[in-house]
C-alpha cells in the first residue's frame, strides 16, 4: 500500500505541511438487516477482534450543479463524528484498488477551507458548490489485530440513511466495509490472500459484493 500516488489536485503539499493523507484499500459488501457478523477466525495474521466501537457519522457531500467532481472520480465531504471527522477529499480509485484520501480539520460546513477549495480548483470552483447528498451512518467498527496489537484491518458494520439533496430522495441500507490497516501484509501476495479470506468469511455469513462503488454513488442512484 503506497502513498506516493497522490492526486494532482493536492498541489503537492499532502503529507508535508498540507492535509493528512491515507490510502484506502477496502472491500465493500451489501448485507441484509438480519445478516450475522462474519467469523474472522480464519483470517491470516489476525489474532484477535476488538469490541465494537459505535460511531455516529453525519456527512455532507458538496459538488457543482453538473457534478464535475463526481464525474472526475473525486468527492468532497464534510463529516462529523468518528476519529477522522473533518473535511475530506477522496480521489479516484487506482488500478491497485486503493483510493487516496486527504483530510483537514473540522470547520462549519458552510465555510469551505481555502485549502480544500484550492485542492479541487482544477476541476471545479468551490464558489459553485452546493450540498448534493447527506449521509448519516450508525457504524460499529471492529479492530482486527495481529499478535502485537497492530491493526491488520478494520471491519465496519454500517446502517446508512442517505438523502439526495437535489431530488429529496431518501434511501437506507446496511453494508459492510473491510479496510486494510497499517499492520496489513506488505507483499501483494499476502495482501491478496488476506482480502480473499475476508471475502470468503463475508460470503459464508451471507454477504455479497456491493452493487455500488460508494455510499455517495448509491445515494445519487448511480
Query: Where are the chain's structural domains?
Result: 8-219
Please name the helix (run of DSSP H) or strand (run of DSSP E) that holds residue 172, with its range, or none.
strand 170-180
Residue 100's pLDDT is 94
> 116 near 89, Cβ under 8 Å?
yes
**How does pLDDT run along the chain (222 residues), one tens digit per residue?**
333 334 444 444 444 457 999 999 999 999 999 999 999 999 999 999 999 999 999 999 999 999 999 999 999 999 999 999 999 999 998 877 789 999 999 999 999 999 999 999 999 999 999 999 999 999 999 999 999 999 999 999 999 999 999 999 999 999 999 999 999 999 999 999 999 999 999 999 999 999 998 999 999 997
Classify residue 197 as left (phi > 0), alpha (psi -120 to 50) or beta. alpha
Residue 93's pLDDT is 86
Residue 54's pLDDT is 98
Residue 214's pLDDT is 94
> DSSP label at 9?
G
Residue 17's pLDDT is 55
> 95 near 148, Cβ under 8 Å?
no
Residue 222's pLDDT is 79
Roughly how many angstroms between the first and final C-alpha of the chain, as a whole number?
A: 28
Beta bridge pairs of residue 160: 137, 173
* Whole-model pTM over 0.95: no
Q: Give residue for cell 429529496.
A: 168
8-219, what's its fold?
Hypothetical Protein Pfu-838710-001 (2.40.320)
Amino acid at each position: 500500500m503506497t502513498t506516493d500516488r497522490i492526486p494532482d489536485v493536492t498541489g503537492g503539499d499532502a503529507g508535508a505541511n498540507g492535509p493528512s493523507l491515507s490510502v484506502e484499500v477496502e472491500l465493500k459488501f451489501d448485507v441484509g438487516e438480519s445478516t450475522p457478523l462474519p467469523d474472522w477466525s480464519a483470517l491470516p495474521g489476525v489474532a484477535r477482534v476488538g469490541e465494537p466501537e459505535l460511531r455516529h457519522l453525519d456527512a455532507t457531500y458538496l459538488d457543482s450543479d453538473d457534478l464535475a467532481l463526481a464525474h472526475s472520480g473525486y468527492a468532497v465531504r464534510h463529516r462529523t463524528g468518528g476519529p477522522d471527522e473533518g473535511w475530506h477529499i477522496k480521489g479516484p480509485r487506482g488500478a491497485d484498488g486503493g483510493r487516496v484520501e486527504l483530510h483537514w480539520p473540522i470547520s462549519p460546513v458552510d465555510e469551505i477551507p481555502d485549502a480544500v477549495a484550492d485542492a479541487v480548483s482544477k476541476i471545479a470552483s468551490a464558489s459553485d458548490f452546493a450540498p448534493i447528498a447527506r449521509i448519516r451512518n450508525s457504524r460499529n467498527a471492529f479492530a482486527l489485530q495481529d499478535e502485537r496489537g497492530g491493526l491488520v484491518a478494520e471491519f465496519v458494520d454500517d446502517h446508512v440513511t442517505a438523502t439526495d439533496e437535489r431530488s429529496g430522495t431518501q434511501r437506507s441500507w446496511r453494508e459492510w466495509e473491510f479496510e486494510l490497516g497499517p499492520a496489513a501484509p506488505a507483499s501483494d501476495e499476502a495482501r491478496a490472500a488476506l482480502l480473499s479470506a475476508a471475502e470468503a468469511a463475508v460470503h459464508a455469513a451471507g454477504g455479497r459484493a456491493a452493487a455500488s462503488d460508494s455510499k455517495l454513488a448509491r445515494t445519487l442512484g448511480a
